A = this chain, B = another copy of it.
Amino acid sequence: MPDAVTAALIVIGDEILSGRTKDVNIGTIADFCTDLGIELSEVRVVPDIEDEIVAAVNAVRGRYTYVFTTGGIGPTHDDITADAVAKAFGVALPINPEARAMLEQRWKDTGTEVNEARLRMARIPEGASLIVNSVSAAPGFRIGNVHVKAGVPKIMQAMLEAIAPTLEGGAKVKSVSIGCRVGEGTIGSAFGRIQDEFPDVKMGSYPRMGSTTVMTELVLRSHDEDRLSLAVERVRAMVAAAHANAGLAETVVAY
């Protein structure tokens, strides 16, 4: 197995923890990482409390290839992500001329007043590079391996697209799903034995509640296509036997 490229995500915001806002960024970033061959290894949701954000950033940034954060980079007093990240890296947080220019261009175009609150969004930790925001101008930034992005999903997605070319992905994980028409308890032991034989293929079992056609979805994932194919054949045969044993057609669908 090649060296894994890994990532952690820190979702910042009281509104996620109170339930007021339902997060969708975790799923988007998980898909984004998987597409690039980056293994998303951990997610933390933390409140708008500076010490908590600092602690989370410092807990993960030495551990994973990349760290992504979402939320807390707007113009109001509860937007403290830049402050916290600057503190985590022990650097100052001055107004960044390039960020200010991006914002002022936008404000000029839209006839928006420049004020102290809006200028908060131009404060960027010393040594960071900017992440372009094609939606609403206020940039994110990257410092070390930490990528700071907005929380609004549309802006967050635009920033993901902006950073994609700068990230080095790992070997892509190939994945095959196998639909199984019996419950996972029926094939659990046999499936576990196949997993034991293929430690290089990660195998997961997911019940599908309320479905009468596929009751269990078996997902096999590996960096090694040949080993994956071998394992898929073994699991297909196991499922076919379970189907036959339950008086169902032996047909097994892999997708």
Interface set of A (CB-CB < 8 Å, partner B): 11, 14-24, 26-27, 30-34, 39-48, 52, 74-79, 112-113, 115-118, 120-121, 135-136, 152, 154-155, 173, 175, 183-189, 191-192, 195-196, 202-207, 209, 219, 221
Contact = CB atoms under 8 A, between A and B. Distances in A.
Copy number in the complex reads: 2
A185 B23 contact: no
B189 A116 contact: yes
Contact of A117 (B31, B121, B185, B221): B185
Given A45-B43, A154-B209, A203-B78, A22 B27 contact: yes
A206 B117 contact: no
A34 B19 contact: yes
Nearest to A177: B20
Contact of A26 (B45, B183, B192): B45
Given A75-B184, A191-B76, A27 B33 contact: no
B209 A77 contact: no
Contacts of A20: 175, 219
Nearest to A116: B189
Nearest to A118: B185
A75 B16 CA distance: 31
A101 B76 CA distance: 56
Nearest to A26: B23
Contacts of A219: 15, 20
Contacts of A206: 15, 21
Choose among A17, A42, A205 the residue with the greatest number of B CB atoms under 10 Å from its CB. Answer: A17
A15 B203 CA distance: 11
A207 B45 contact: no
A202 B19 CA distance: 15
